[in-house]
Structure formats: C-alpha cells, structure tokens
C-alpha cells in the first residue's frame, strides 16, 4: 500500500554532520516519513516552510547558528511556524563528552 506524499508526516532535520543527516533521513523515509534534511542551519532557515513540519530534529552544536538559535529564528521569523491544528515536537540533540564521566 502506497501513501501519498501529502498524507505523510513531515520532518525537518538540521545537523552539521552529513553522515548523521543522511542516516536519519534514510531511516525515517523508509519508515514512511517525508524528510527535509540540511547540514547548514542558515540555509535550513532560509528554506523553512511554515506550517509544513510536524517534527524538527535540530543539532544543538553547529557552527554559525546552534539549534536553540535556529529554533528561536524559526519561531520569530514566521507568524505561525506551525498550523494551529498541529502539535509540533522539537528534538534537540547534542553529543555529550565521554571525558566528563
């Protein structure tokens, strides 16, 4: 059974490490999600589609703009970044240093 693109849940991934971005995108698409993935947070912000995504997966530690800054910009630059009927989940990820343990 094939799901039309309009019916699939949409996810935005932003991580400056291409291997992580590619792996997540491939896995989520196999699971039936529609995924936009970027390695540059500034470009991701420029391409952001208000009201389009149900989930954002943002890396915290990125050059130029971290995940918190990217989320703040998305929230501040769009009147309604997500449609009122959508419940948006935001996942912020960061590698933790093993040296601290």
- Domains of the chain as residue ranges with CATH: 9-94 (3.40.50.2300)
| Section 71-85 average pLDDT | 69
- Both structure tokens of 18: 């291409």
Rounded Cα gap, residues 53 and 93, in angstroms: 18
- Average pLDDT in the 20-43 region? 97
Question: Is pLDDT above 50 for 1?
Answer: no
Residue pointed to by tokens 């896995």: 27
Query: Beta partners for 89?
Result: 55
pTM: 0.74
């Amino acid at each position: 059974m094939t799901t039309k693109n309009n019916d699939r849940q949409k996810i935005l991934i932003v991580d400056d490490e291409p291997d992580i971005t590619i792996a997540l995108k491939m896995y989520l698409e196999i699971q039936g999600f529609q995924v936009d993935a970027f390695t540059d947070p500034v470009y991701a912000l420029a391409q952001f589609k208000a009201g389009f995504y149900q989930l954002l997966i943002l890396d915290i530690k990125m050059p130029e703009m971290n995940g918190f800054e990217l989320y703040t910009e998305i929230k501040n630059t769009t009147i309604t970044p997500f449609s009122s009927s959508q419940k948006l989940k935001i996942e912020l990820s960061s590698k933790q240093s093993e040296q601290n343990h």
